[in-house]
C-alpha cells in the first residue's frame, strides 16, 4: 500500500481566493489523488484543523425532532467554520446514527453532515465511529398503534416483484467511504489497506512545508477503532500497519505524528482526571466515565514508545472534553459537535493548530455560541 500524501494548496479566507482554490483543487489535486502527494502546510501561517465529533445525523429520522436536530448540527458546524476558518476538518466518527436510519442508503445522511464543510471549500478527512454502520434497530414504538411510518416501506419499482422494501440493512463502511470519496474532491479520506478490512478508515496524510515540500511538518494518522458491524477495537494488524508505515515514512521519528480515531483506548481511563479537571489536564466537562475500546491490541504500546507521537484525539464520550498527558503523549477528547446522540452539554468543536517554526501543537474548544475555552499547548 503506497503512503498517502498529496498537495493541497492552502485555503485562504478570501472568497475569491476560495474560488481560485476550488479551481486549483479540481484542476491539480484531483488527478493526483490516486498517486502519492501531500497536504501542504504554509509555513507562514499555522495549519488549523476543526474536529467534528459525534454528529449523529439521521437519528430518529422518522420523527419531527430528528431531522430538526440535524439542522441544528449544521448550524453548529457552520458557526465553528465561520468563526475559525480552519484549513482542514476531521470528522471524528459517529457522523451518522445508522441504527436509526430506515433507508437503504445512509450516505444521504453522511452527505448532509459534510455539506457545511464542502460548501465552504474546506478539505476534510473522516474516520468511522461505532454508529456509522450499525445495524438498523427497529424502534419499539413502530409496533404501537400509529405503527411503522408509511414512508419507510417504499413500494418497489413496478418492474420488480412488487414486494415492499421493508428491510433496512444499513450501509457498510466501505460503501459509505466510497460514496464520500467518489463524490467529493475535497475529501482526503481513504479506504485503507484491504488487509485491514472490515476496519476501513486507516490512512496517513502528510503535511508538507510550503518552503520545503520535501520536509513534512507533521503526519496525521487516522485509525478505525471499530464498533457497529464488528468489535470496538484497534486490532494488532492495524498496530502492525502503523508500525510499518511509521518505519517507512518516519524511520528516525523526526516528524511529529498526530493521531485520530473515535473510541478512546484503555489508556484514557488511566489518564482521566478525577472529578474536576486540574492541571496539567485541560478541559471543561468531565461528566462521565471513559467508555473505552474492548481491548488493547498493541497500538498504544507503539505510540508511547515513539518520541514523535504527540497526541491522540478521540470522540465517543459526549460528556468529556479534556486533554490529559499520558506518558509522553497527550490524550484528548474532542467536543460533542452534533445535536444527535446522548447528552445536552453545549455543542462545540475542538480545534487543533499546528505551527511549523518552531513546531507546536495548540488546541482549544470553540463553542457554538462563539466562545473559546480550554486552550492547551500539546507540543513541544
145 binds ligand NAG (CB under 6 A): no
Q: State the nearest-atom distance from the C-beta of 103 to ligand NAG, in Å.
A: 9
Q: How do strand 329-333 and strand 309-314 relate by DSSP bridges?
A: parallel
Cell representation of residue 45:
501561517
**Interacting span for ligand NAG (CB under 6 A) from 107-115, 143-151, 287-295, 371-379:** 107-115
Q: State the nearest-atom distance from the C-beta of 353 to ligand NAG, in Å.
A: 31
164 binds ligand NAG (CB under 6 A): no
Out of 43, 78, 85, 105, point to the residue binding ligand NAG (CB under 6 A). 105
354 touches 333 (CB < 8 A) = no
Say whether 196 sits in a helix, a strand or coil. Answer: helix
13 binds ligand NAG (CB under 6 A): no
Say whether 284 sits in a helix, a strand or coil. Answer: coil
225 touches 263 (CB < 8 A) = yes
Q: Is 360 exposed, middle or buried, given 0-12, 13-18 or 19+ CB atoms closer than 10 A?
A: middle
Out of 111, 232, 353, 368, point to the residue binding ligand NAG (CB under 6 A). 111
**Interacting span for ligand NAG (CB under 6 A) from 28-36, 102-110, 227-235, 261-269:** 102-110
Torsion of CA 38, 132, 225, 331, to 10 degrees: 80
Bridge partner residues of 377 (DSSP): 362
Q: State the nearest-atom distance from the C-beta of 187 to ligand NAG, in Å.
A: 12
107 binds ligand NAG (CB under 6 A): yes
25 binds ligand NAG (CB under 6 A): no
344 binds ligand NAG (CB under 6 A): no
Q: State the nearest-atom distance from the C-beta of 89 to ligand NAG, in Å.
A: 18
264 touches 309 (CB < 8 A) = no
Exposure string over 199-230, b if 16+ CB within 10 A, otherwise e: bbbbbbbbbbbbeeeeebbbbbbbbbbbbbbe
Out of 24, 108, 237, 302, point to the residue binding ligand NAG (CB under 6 A). 108
Size of residue set near ligand NAG by CB under 6 A: 8
157 binds ligand NAG (CB under 6 A): yes
Q: How do strand 372-379 and strand 216-222 relate by DSSP bridges?
A: unpaired
Of 43 and 105, the one with the shorter C-beta distance to ligand NAG is 105
Out of 159, 163, 252, 279, point to the residue binding ligand NAG (CB under 6 A). 159
Q: How do strand 323-326 and strand 329-333 relate by DSSP bridges?
A: antiparallel
The Cα 4–Cα 367 span in angstroms is 32
The Cα 83–Cα 303 span in angstroms is 33
Q: Where are the alpha helices (DSSP H) in 45-183?
A: 65-84, 107-119, 173-183
**Interacting span for ligand NAG (CB under 6 A) from 1-9, 103-111, 299-307, 312-320:** 103-111
Of 183 and 266, the one with the shorter C-beta distance to ligand NAG is 183
Out of 183, 254, 270, 287, point to the residue binding ligand NAG (CB under 6 A). 183
189 binds ligand NAG (CB under 6 A): no
179 binds ligand NAG (CB under 6 A): yes
Chain positions contacting ligand NAG, by CB under 6 A: 105, 107-108, 111, 157, 159, 179, 183
Amino acid at each position: 500500500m503506497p503512503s498517502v500524501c498529496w498537495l493541497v494548496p492552502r485555503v485562504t479566507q478570501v472568497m475569491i481566493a476560495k474560488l481560485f482554490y476550488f479551481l486549483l483543487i479540481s484542476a491539480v489535486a484531483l488527478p493526483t489523488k490516486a498517486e502519492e502527494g501531500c497536504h501542504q502546510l504554509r509555513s507562514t501561517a499555522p495549519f488549523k484543523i476543526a474536529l467534528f465529533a459525534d454528529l449523529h445525523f439521521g437519528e430518529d429520522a422518522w420523527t419531527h425532532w430528528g431531522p430538526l436536530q440535524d439542522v441544528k448540527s449544521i448550524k453548529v458546524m457552520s458557526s465553528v467554520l465561520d468563526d475559525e476558518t480552519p484549513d482542514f476538518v476531521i470528522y471524528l466518527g459517529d457522523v451518522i446514527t445508522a441504527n436509526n436510519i430506515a433507508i437503504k442508503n445512509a450516505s444521504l445522511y453522511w452527505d448532509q453532515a459534510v455539506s457545511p464543510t464542502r460548501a465552504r471549500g474546506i478539505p476534510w478527512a473522516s474516520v468511522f465511529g461505532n454508529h456509522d454502520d450499525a445495524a438498523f434497530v427497529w424502534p419499539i414504538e413502530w409496533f404501537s398503534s400509529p405503527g411503522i411510518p408509511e414512508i419507510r416501506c417504499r413500494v418497489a419499482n413496478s418492474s420488480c416483484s412488487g414486494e415492499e422494501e421493508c428491510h433496512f440493512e444499513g450501509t457498510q463502511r466501505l460503501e459509505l467511504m466510497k460514496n464520500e470519496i467518489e463524490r467529493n474532491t475535497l475529501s482526503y479520506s481513504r479506504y485503507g489497506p484491504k488487509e485491514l478490512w472490515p476496519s476501513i478508515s486507516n490512512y496517513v496524510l502528510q503535511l508538507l512545508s510550503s518552503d520545503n515540500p520535501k520536509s513534512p511538518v507533521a503526519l496525521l494518522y487516522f485509525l478505525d477503532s471499530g464498533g457497529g458491524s464488528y468489535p470496538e477495537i484497534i486490532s494488532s494488524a492495524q498496530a502492525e500497519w502503523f508500525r510499518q508505515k511509521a518505519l517507512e515514512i518516519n524511520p528516525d521519528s523526526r516528524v511529529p505524528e498526530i493521531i485520530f480515531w473515535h473510541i478512546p483506548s484503555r489508556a484514557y481511563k488511566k489518564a482521566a482526571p478525577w472529578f474536576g479537571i486540574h492541571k496539567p489536564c485541560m478541559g471543561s466537562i468531565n461528566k462521565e466515565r471513559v467508555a473505552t475500546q474492548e481491548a488493547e491490541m498493541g497500538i498504544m504500546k507503539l505510540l508511547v514508545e515513539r518520541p514523535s507521537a504527540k497526541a491522540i484525539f478521540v470522540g465517543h464520550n459526549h460528556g468529556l472534553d479534556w486533554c490529559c498527558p499520558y506518558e509522553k503523549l497527550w490524550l484528548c477528547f474532542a467536543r460533542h459537535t452534533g445535536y444527535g446522540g446522548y447528552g445536552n452539554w453545549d455543542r462545540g468543536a475542538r480545534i487543533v493548530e499546528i505551527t511549523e517554526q518552531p513546531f507546536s501543537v495548540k488546541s482549544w474548544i470553540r463553542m457554538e455560541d462563539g466562545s473559546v475555552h480550554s486552550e492547551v499547548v500539546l507540543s513541544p
